[in-house]
Structure 1
C-alpha cells in the first residue's frame, strides 16, 4: 500500500471552531502531520459547543463533544498560550519547518504577536500561509467577526431557502447544518493543495491564501446567483420545488414523503404513466418543461394528489423501475441504516480513550492507490504537547517549567 498523498507535509493549525478545523482535518486524513494549537486549560472554542459530550470513567462530562469530534481527527494537540512571549516563540519554532500554517484569527490579530504572514515568511520563505476569516483580509467588513448563520443571511442563501411566499411559515430560512463552514473548509483545503503544488513547481515559492465565509457562500449559490447577474431578478424561495426540471419536490404519500426530480420531458411522460395518468404528458400545458414551468402550481398540485394514493415504498419501487430520479426523505437513523450507505462504509469506528468504539464519518474521498485506512481519534486537550515540544528541542525540565508558568 502506498503512503497517503500528503505524507511528509507538516501543518501548523491555529484554527478553532469549524471551517478551519474541517480543512486541517482533511489534510490530516490525507496523511499530513497536523499540529493543532489550543489554549491551555480551555482549548478550541468548539470543545464547549455541546451537548452531547463524551464522559470519563467516572461519568463526568469532558470537553470532547460532537462538535469538536467531527472536525479534529488525525491531529496532534499542543497547548500554547500565544499571548505570551515564550508561547509566541514556541509557535515560531514550530513554524520554521512547517509546510502549511493555517489560522482563523481576526484580521490583524496575529500581527500583534509576530505570527502574521510576513513574520512567518521571514522564518520560512516557502510556507503556505492560509488565513480563514468571516469577511476576508480586505474590505470594509474585514474586521468583523461572524458565524455560519450570519453568512447564510448576508450571502443570500437564506433568501432562496424556505417555504414559498404565501405559504404557512414563509420567509427566509437557515440551512440546518453549518453548511457555509463546511464549504469554506473545502475551499481552504483546495487552496492549500493548489499552493503546495505551485510551490513544488516553482522552486519552493510559498504564498498567502485568503479564504472567507462570505466569499464561499456567495460562490456556492451558483445558478441562483447567476440568474440575478444575468437579468437582475432575485430568484424566489421555492421550498423543496426544483429550479430546472419540473415537477420536482417533496411529495407526501400515504405513509411519509419522497423526493422526486423530473429532469426532462421523457422522464415526465414515464412519471405520468407510473402515476396512472399517462394523458398528462400530452396535455399542451405540461408537454414541455418550459410549459410546466409556466403552469408549475397546477402540475405540482395534480402530482400531490396522485402521490397520496399509495405508500412511499410503493411509489419508489415503481419510479425506480421506470428510471425516474427519486428517493425517500430520511432522518439520520434511516441514513445510517440504509444498505447502500452501509456498503459504502461511511460510518467508521475509531478507538478513543473515552470510547473504544466511537463512530465517526469517514472522509468522503476514496482512493484506489492510497486509501485512507486508519483514522486517529480527535486528540484530548494538550495530549501531544510534550511529544511535539520534545521534537523541536525542548527538554523535560523546560517543558515542566513552561507548564508551571502556564505557557503551555
Structure 2
C-alpha cells in the first residue's frame, strides 16, 4: 500500500487537476469515520456532498448491493429487469408523483430536466420551436456539463468552455420580483435549488418558494426543484421544499439516492410532464440498471420510515445552536443552513476556508471550503451526537488558535 506522500505524488503526476482535494488518502470508511492509508482516522463532516447521507458502508445498502451483484447488474434499457418497475413506482410514491426517468449522475438528471422542460414547452404549452426559456438563479450549481455551465455565474466553472448554450435567464436568488419580471410567454420552467449548497449553503428568504410556486402555476411554467444535495433527508425533511409546504412540478434527485454505493439519479414528475418522451428521444445505457435500482430501493425504504429525517432535524437543531454561539466572537461572521447542513463564514483574518479545512484535517476532521472563507459542514445523518460534538470542539479550537 502506498504512503500518503507516494499516493499524492502519483495523483499529481497522472490525474487531471480538475479538483483540489485535501491531502488525505482514504483507504477505508465506516459510518461517519474514514481511515487513511497510514491508519489515521478522520471524522467525515462532508458526506460526499450528501451522497453519503446514510454513512459509509451502510450495512443495509451493502447487503442490497451484494445480493443484486450475484444476480444481474446490467441489462441496458433494451430489456426490462425485475427491479425497474418497483424502483420507479416506489420513488414516484415517495415524491407524490406518477413517473420516473432514471439516469446516473446529478448533472445528467439536470440535463434531462432541461430537455423535459423544453419538450413540454413545445408540445404542451405551445412555445414556438427553438424559443424556450428557462429561468435560473445566480450563484447556482447544477453540474458542470457544457449546457449547465452556460447558465452558471461561477467563473471557474464557466470560463473558456464556450460557445454557450442559449435559452436561460439568470435572476438573483431569493428575489421574487426579479423572477416574475423574467418570466415571459416563452418561459417553460424555473429551475432552482431549495438551498444553494455550492454557493455557501444559502437559504432563501421565508416565503420565497411559496411565491415561486404560485407564480409558476399562474404563468403555466414548470417549477423544477434541484434536490440533488438538499433532498432525501439532509435538511430534516425528505425534500427541502417541504420546509415551505411546496411541491414542485419536477424533482431532480441524485447523490443520496445511490446511498454512496453506486451513482443513481432521476427526474420525477407527473405523467403530463414526463409523458412527453417517446422511445428513442432520450436514454442512458446505465440509467435504471438493476444494481442501481436495488440500492435505491433500499434507500427509499429507509427514507419511508422517517427516522433519518427526524435524526437530521434533531441533530441539525443542535448543530446550528452550537455554531450560532460562535457568531460574533470574532472568528465566525455568519452561519446558514437547515438540518445537518451548514455554511460557516470565517472572518478572513482567521484564514481562508481552505486553510481552516486544512487545520481541521490536522485535528482529524474533514470538511471542505467554498467561496473564499466559507466552510461547509454536512456530516452523514448517522453521525452520533458525541462525534458531532467532538468535531465541533475541533472547530472551536482551530478558530481559537487564530
| TM interval, short-chain normalised | under 0.3
- Structure 2 length normalisation: TM-score? 0.26
Q: Which has the higher contact order (CA 8 A, sep 6+)?
A: 2
Which has the greater radius of gyration?
A: 1
- Structure 1 length normalisation: TM-score? 0.26
